[in-house]
Amino acid sequence: MKIPKSDPTQNAATPVPVLDGADPLQIFSSWMDAAVEAEPADANAMTLATVDETGMPDSRMVLMKSADERGVVFYTNIGSRKGCHLTANPKASLSFHWKSLLRQIRIQGHVETVSDAEADAYFKSRDRRSRIGAWASQQSQPLHGRLELERRVAKFAAKHAIGEIPRPPFWSGYRVVPVRFEFWRNGAFRLHERLVFERADPGQAWQKSRLYP
């Protein structure tokens, strides 16, 4: 496998005024807005890392669906691999990387499920086919051929052919409540900028510090 070489003098990050002396949620919101404008697709894609019962870390890409002062929300099948991990150990880390902006954000926090009202509202906003798919997929379970999945999709499409499709009881959202933010911005010659906000528990004041690149 060939690794492309990079020129450290190219693509130095453009300064972002809000980076210094700001609340981490303000920086997060500002960077996300910039990513939505700059990234060709899925600016809200993030790596979600969890830990299984043996302590083995596991990561995958998911889509952030909302974010506010309470935390960052994504949705999934509760019985999925990540759902089982979070039930046993409700802590997670998230990473956003925007190549076009030469920035990344890392978040660590405690995890809680969203309210039924939040989950219902988001599920209702999804495309009808996606809602059928949520019922049909036994996420993370063994699949004995594509035909099996297609039959389940057809089954639930027929069952919910008329009227609203209710949210499955095994499908909901998780909120990562941050206790740590790290904002990384590319710098020439690998002298990157790293700004960290930490707090012991949600509700406490953020403590800001900088790290060597």
List the one residue out of 180, 41, 39, 29 whose CA is nearest residue 102: 39
List, in order, residues 6 or more apart from 63 with CB less than 8 Å away: 42, 44, 45, 46, 74
Whether 129 is catalytic = no
CA–CA gap between residue 115 and residue 31 (Å, rounded): 27
Determine the 3-state secondary structure of 182 from DSSP.
Answer: strand
**Tally of CB atoms within 10 A around 51:** 16
What's the number of CA atoms in the CB half-sphere (13 Å) around residue 161? 4
CA–CA gap between residue 136 and residue 156 (Å, rounded): 6
Catalytic residue among 190, 194, 199, 210: 190
CA–CA gap between residue 130 and residue 63 (Å, rounded): 14
Crossing angle of helices 146-159 and 128-136, rounded to 10°: 120
Task: Cite the active site residues.
Answer: 190
